[in-house]
Amino acid sequence: MHHNDVTRAVDFAIEKQIGGQFKVRGDEKISINNFMKLIEHACEKGPGSTKALSKVPFLKLSEIAEEFLVGITHDRNMRLMIQHFEDNEMDCPCPGTDFWETSGLKRQEKLSAFYQYHRYHDTD
């Protein structure tokens, strides 16, 4: 979902003092792989050119020590979370009612359009 729509939703909820738990989602269903392709396009890289870390089914001895001393690293945590969602497809992993239906607001942005027209470079 585009950050402008998230900002509008938060502003509206604060202004109208809406309470409860809501799902604030975009109207596009984009898989992790398609999301990576959008980002690669925005970075002017070829589709699929970003390679994942090799998947190891168990922690190495050094990772066990690291985990014991300082906890799981952000990168490994993100990789494990993405893998979990790919392995356990869920229609809606978050509870609550749809914010857009409840508020009557309409989404104004498309995530795919945002990445289609924005370019990122190593110097940004």
Residue 54: per-residue pLDDT: 61
Delimit the domains of the chain by residue range: 3-117
pLDDT of residue 46: 86
Residue-by-residue pLDDT tens, the chain, 124 positions? 788 898 999 999 999 998 888 888 888 888 878 888 888 888 888 888 887 666 555 667 777 777 777 776 777 778 888 788 778 766 656 677 888 888 999 998 888 888 777 777 766 4
Quote the tokens at residue 9. 């939703």
Identify whether the C-beta of residue 115 lies closer than 8 Å to the C-beta of residue 22.
no
- Predicted TM-score (pTM) of the model is 0.53
Q: Which amino acid, 113?
A: A
pLDDT for residue 53? 64
Kindly tell me the sign of the dihedral angle through the C-alpha atoms of 30, 33, 34, 35: positive
Strands 97-98 and 22-23, bridge-based pairing = parallel
